C-alpha cells in the first residue's frame, strides 16, 4: 500500500514524501480513507504507531477547501498534555508545509495574548488541552459552532487525568453534525461509554499494541529492598551495569518521586533530566530536547508526563516503581524495542508490589523473568543489592558486555563513600517521602549529596557529559 492509494491530496503527498515516509503505517492505511470519506473513526492505537499522521494528513487534505472565519476554528484537536499538543502542531508544520493554513495552540504556560489575536483572525486548526480551551471560551474569545471536525486524542489518558467532564462540556459546544475522530490506546468501560456518546456510526480501526508484539524487548524483574535508598541504589547499579545502554527512561509512579530520584541521580554523577507535571513548559521542553538529542541520555519521568510523547529509539526502560495500573506497564515498556530494535526493561519490585505485578503478568499474558533471585527468594535481611545479585550470577555481575566492574565492587564503594561523608548541615536534605521523614531516617537511608567520585571512571562517559544549559530566549 502506498500513500498515493489513500486519497490524500497532491500537496499532502508531496509533504509526506519530503518527510521520507514511503509507506503508510497500518493505522494510517486503515483510518485515512475513512476520514477522507467524512466518517467518524474510533482508533485504538497507542503512540508510536503513526496515529498522529493518521488524522493530521487527511485533515490537511479536507481543509484545502473552505476557509477560516474570525473566532470560529474549523477543526479542533484535544490533547491531554501540552507536549502532545505541541507535537501535533509540529505535525501540521511538517505536513502542512505546502498549505497556507492557520494553526493555533492553546496550552497552559503560553500567554493568552498571541493566541487570542490568532483566533480572532480565524484559524483552520485549533489544538488545545481541555482546561485551557475552556478558559479561552469563557473569556468570550472563541466560538466553537464552526467546528467541522473534532479529534479527541489519547482519550484514556484524558480519563486518567480527570479531563472527562471538560471533554463532555466541550463536545456539547461543538455542532452535532461535526465529524469526530476518537483515539485511545485502551478501551476501558468509561472510554467505551464516551465513544458511544460522541461518535456516530464509527469505523473502528485497531492496531496491535506495541508491547504485545514487540518480542525484541527483554523484560526483567529485579527484587529490591523496601526502603527508598535501597531502590535508588539498585537502580544505580542497574544503570551502571546495563548492557548496550544508549539512553533510558526511568519511570516513577509519583511526580514527587521523579524530583527526588532526579536529584539523587544527579548527585551521583549521572547526566539526567526530569519530566513531571509540575515543571513549567520551558523546563519540560528543554528536558525533552536534551533527551531527544542525546545530550542528556537519562530521563526520569512520570507516566502522565511521558505518555504519548514521541521519543524514538530508547534502549532501556527502568521502572523504578511497579506501576499501579497494568496498562501503564505496557505503555512504559513500549518506549523501547521499537521498529525491530532490541530493548531492555527492568522493573524494580519491592515487598508489597506483588499484587500490581500479578496484574501486569496477567495483562501481558506471560510471567516476567527475574534477574537474580525473586522477591520470595531474596533474604529478608538483604538490605544491599550487591551480594544478592552477585550470588544470583546475573550477566552483569559476571562482567557481561557493557559491564564495567562487578556489582560487589560498586556497592562496597557506594557504602564507603556514603559512610565517609557526614551529611553537611548547610546543604538542603533531599526531600523524602513523608513516611520516611516521619520515621526519622538514619544516615544510611540518605543519598549522599556529593557525586560518587570514586566511581566516576566506571560510569560510561556519555552518561557523565554535562548537559548544556540553554540560555533563556
Ligand atoms: P505517532 O504514533 O504519531 O506518535 O508517530 C510515531 C512516529 O512515527 C513519529 O516519529 C512519526 O514521525 C513517525 N511516522 C509517522 N508515520 C510514519 C510512516 N508512514 N512511516 C514512518 N514513520 C512514520
> Would you place residue 312 in the very low, low, confident or very high pLDDT band (cuts 50, 70, 90)?
low
Phi, psi of 192 (to 5 degrees): -60, -40
Predicted local distance difference test score (pLDDT) of residue 220: 94
Query: Mean per-residue pLDDT for 371-396?
Result: 56
How many Å lie between the centroid of ligand 1 and the Cα of residue 5?
18
| Angle of the 255-267 helix axis to the 228-241 helix axis, nearest 10 | 60
The label of the residue with cell 479529534 reads: 151
Report the C-alpha gap between 311 and 289 in whole angstroms: 10
Q: Which of 186-195, 345-354, 414-423 has the lowest mean pLDDT?
A: 414-423
Predicted local distance difference test score (pLDDT) of residue 56: 98
- Contact (Cβ atoms closer than 8 angstroms) between residue 321 and residue 251: yes
Ligand 1 contacts CB of residue 21 (under 6 A): yes
Please measure the distance between the N-terminal and C-terminal CA atoms of the chain and give it in whole angstroms.
44
Burial per residue of 269-300, b for 16 or more beta-carbon CB atoms within 10 angstroms, e otherwise: bbbbbbbbeebeeeebbbbbebbbeebbbbbb
Relative to the CA of 24, which ligand 1 atom is closest? 19
Cell of 111: 500567554
In tens, the pLDDT along 69-126 reads 999 999 999 999 888 999 999 999 999 999 999 999 999 877 788 888 999 999 999 9
- Contact (Cβ atoms closer than 8 angstroms) between residue 317 and residue 335: yes
The SS3 of residue 219 is strand
Q: Which of 254-258, 370-374, 424-428 has the lowest mean pLDDT?
A: 424-428
CA dihedral 317, 320, 324, 329 (to 10 degrees): 10
Radius of gyration of the chain (CA): 24
How many Å lie between the centroid of ligand 1 and the Cα of residue 54?
9
What are the extents of the domains in the chain? 3-206, 217-370, 384-427
pLDDT at 162 over 60: yes
How many Å lie between the centroid of ligand 1 and the Cα of residue 303?
21
Q: ∠ CA 212-302-85 to the nearest 5 degrees?
A: 85
Predicted local distance difference test score (pLDDT) of residue 185: 87
- Contact (Cβ atoms closer than 8 angstroms) between residue 128 and residue 79: yes
For ligand 1, atom 21, the nearest C-alpha belongs to: 21
Pairing of strands 272-275, 103-106: unpaired
Predicted local distance difference test score (pLDDT) of residue 200: 96
For ligand 1, atom 23, the nearest C-alpha belongs to: 50
In tens, the pLDDT along 174-196 reads 999 999 999 998 888 889 999 99
- Contact (Cβ atoms closer than 8 angstroms) between residue 193 and residue 167: no
Topology of the domain comprising 217-370: Rossmann fold (3.40.50)
Predicted local distance difference test score (pLDDT) of residue 342: 76
Q: Which of 31-35, 116-120, 134-138, 215-219 has the lowest mean pLDDT?
A: 215-219
> Would you place residue 173 in the very low, low, confident or very high pLDDT band (cuts 50, 70, 90)?
very high
How many Å lie between the centroid of ligand 1 and the Cα of residue 52?
7
How many Å lie between the centroid of ligand 1 and the Cα of residue 390?
42
Describe the strand order of the beta sheet including 369-370 as a list of residue ranges: 272-275, 298-302, 248-252, 316-319, 343-349, 217-223, 369-370
Residues above pLDDT 70, as percent of the chain: 76
- Contact (Cβ atoms closer than 8 angstroms) between residue 225 and residue 348: no
Predicted local distance difference test score (pLDDT) of residue 281: 76
For ligand 1, atom 11, the nearest C-alpha belongs to: 50
In tens, the pLDDT along 276-299 reads 877 877 888 888 889 988 899 999
Relative to the CA of 87, which ligand 1 atom is closest? 4
- Contact (Cβ atoms closer than 8 angstroms) between residue 298 and residue 248: yes
Predicted local distance difference test score (pLDDT) of residue 20: 87
Highest-confidence range of 183-187, 305-309, 388-392, by mean pLDDT?
183-187
> Would you place residue 391 in the very low, low, confident or very high pLDDT band (cuts 50, 70, 90)?
very low
To test the pocket of ligand 1, the residue of 53, 59, 311, 331 to mutate (highest count of ligand atoms within 8 Å of its CB) is 53
Topology of the domain comprising 3-206: Rossmann fold (3.40.50)
DSSP for 187-213? --HHHHHHHHHH-SSPEEEE---HHHH
217-370 and 3-206 share a CATH fold: yes
- Contact (Cβ atoms closer than 8 angstroms) between residue 152 and residue 13: no
How many Å lie between the centroid of ligand 1 and the Cα of residue 257?
31
- Does the model's pTM come out above 0.85? no
Residues above pLDDT 90, as percent of the chain: 50
Q: Which of 25-39, 201-215, 246-260, 430-444 has the lowest mean pLDDT?
A: 430-444
For ligand 1, atom 19, the nearest C-alpha belongs to: 24
Relative to the CA of 48, which ligand 1 atom is closest? 2
Q: ∠ CA 16-19-23 to the nearest 5 degrees?
A: 55
Amino acid at each position: 500500500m502506498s500513500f498515493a492509494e489513500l486519497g490524500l491530496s497532491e500537496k499532502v503527498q508531496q509533504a509526506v514524501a519530503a518527510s521520507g515516509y514511503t509507506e503508510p503505517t497500518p493505522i494510517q492505511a486503515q483510518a485515512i480513507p475513512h476520514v477522507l470519506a467524512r466518517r467518524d473513526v474510533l482508533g485504538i492505537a497507542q503512540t508510536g504507531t503513526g496515529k498522529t499522521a493518521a488524522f493530521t494528513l487527511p485533515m490537511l487534505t479536507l481543509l484545502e477547501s473552505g476557509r477560516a472565519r474570525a473566532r470560529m476554528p474549523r477543526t479542533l484537536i484535544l490533547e491531554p498534555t501540552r507536549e502532545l499538543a505541541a507535537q501535533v502542531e509540529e505535525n501540521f508544520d511538517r505536513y502542512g508545509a505546502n498549505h497556507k493554513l492557520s494553526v493555533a495552540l492553546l496550552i497552559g504556560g503560553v500567554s493568552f495574548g498571541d493566541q487570542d489575536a490568532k483566533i480572532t483572525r480565524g484559524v483552520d486548526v485549533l489544538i488545545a488541552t481541555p482546561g485551557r480551551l475552556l478558559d479561552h471560551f469563557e473569556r468570550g474569545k472563541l466560538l466553537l459552532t464552526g467546528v467541522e471536525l473534532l479529534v479527541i486524542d489519547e482519550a484514556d489518558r484524558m480519563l486518567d487525568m480527570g479531563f472527562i467532564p471538560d471533554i463532555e462540556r466541550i463536545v456539547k459546544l461543538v455542532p452535532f453534525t461535526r465529524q469526530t475522530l476518537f483515539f485511545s490506546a485502551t478501551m476501558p468501560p468509561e472510554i467505551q461509554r464516551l465513544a458511544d456518546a460522541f461518535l456516530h456510526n464509527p469505523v473502528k480501526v485497531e492496531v496491535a499494541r506495541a508491547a504485545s508484539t514487540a518480542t525484541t524487548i527483554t523484560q526483567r524483574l529485579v527484587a529490591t529492598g523496601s526502603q527508598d535508598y535501597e531502590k535508588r541504589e539498585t537502580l544505580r547499579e542497574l544503570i551502571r551495569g546495563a548492557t548496550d545502554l544508549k539512553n533510558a527512561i526511568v519511570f516513577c509512579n509519583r511526580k514527587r518521586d521523579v524530583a527526588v530520584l532526579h536529584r539523587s541521580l544527579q548527585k551521583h554523577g549521572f547526566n539526567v533530566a526530569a519530566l513531571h507535571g509540575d515543571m513549567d513548559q520551558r523546563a519540560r521542553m528543554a528536558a525533552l530536547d536534551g533527551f531527544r538529542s542525546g545530550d542528556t541520555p537519562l530521563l526520569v519521568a512520570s507516566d502522565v508526563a511521558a505518555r504519548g510523547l514521541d521519543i524514538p529509539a530508547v534502549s532501556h526502560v527502568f521502572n523504578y516503581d511497579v506501576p499501579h495500573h497494568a496498562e501503564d506497564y505496557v505503555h512504559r515498556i513500549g518506549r523501547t524495542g521499537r521498529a525491530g530494535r532490541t530493548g531492555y526493561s527492568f522493573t524494580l519490585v519491592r515487598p508489597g508490589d506483588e499484587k500490581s505485578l500479578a496484574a501486569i503478568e496477567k495483562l501481558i499474558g506471560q510471567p516476567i523473568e527475574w534477574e537474580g533471585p525473586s522477591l520470595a527468594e531474596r533474604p529478608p535481611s538483604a538490605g544491599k543489592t550487591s551480594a544478592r545479585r552477585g550470588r544470583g550470577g546475573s550477566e552483569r555481575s559476571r562482567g557481561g558486555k557493557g559491564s564495567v566492574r562487578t556489582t560487589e565492587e560498586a556497592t562496597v564503594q557506594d557504602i564507603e563513600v556514603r559512610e565517609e561523608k557526614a551529611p553537611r548541615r548547610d546543604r538542603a536534605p533531599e526531600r523524602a517521602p513523608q513516611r520516611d521523614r516521619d520515621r526519622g531516617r538514619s544516615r544510611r537511608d540518605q543519598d549522599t549529596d556529593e557525586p560518587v567520585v570514586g566511581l566516576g571512571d566506571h560510569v560510561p562517559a556519555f552518561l557523565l557529559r554535562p548537559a548544556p544549559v540553554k540560555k533563556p530566549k
